[in-house]
Amino acid sequence: MGTASEEIDQAGEITTTDALIAWLNERDEAGQALTHPSVRLIINDEIAPGCSVLKPGDTIAFCPPFSGG
């Protein structure tokens, strides 16, 4: 979404990954890409399942599709 990283302070407002994605999508329509099923959400260096709870200080990353070999 045009930046390598960003720190946000939305304590109490964004408590789940779904809420974070919705908030990002409101800021920039490119956020819609984050809802694609092939995009993986990483919280604190671990793949997160579906809608996960967020805690203050969590590090969140969105991982696009990739292949290995």
Phi and psi of 40, rounded to 5°?
Answer: -100, 140
Using DSSP, state whether 15 is helix, strand or coil: coil
Q: 41 and 17 in contact (C-beta within 8 Å)?
A: yes
Question: What's the confidence (pLDDT) of residue 1?
Answer: 63
Nearest Cα residue to 11 out of 57, 69, 52, 65: 57
Q: What is the pTM of this model?
A: 0.78
Q: Tokens standing for 57?
A: 């200080």
38 pLDDT exceeds 90?
no
Domain residue ranges in the chain: 17-63
Q: What is the mean pLDDT of residues 7-27?
A: 84
Question: What's the confidence (pLDDT) of residue 50?
Answer: 79
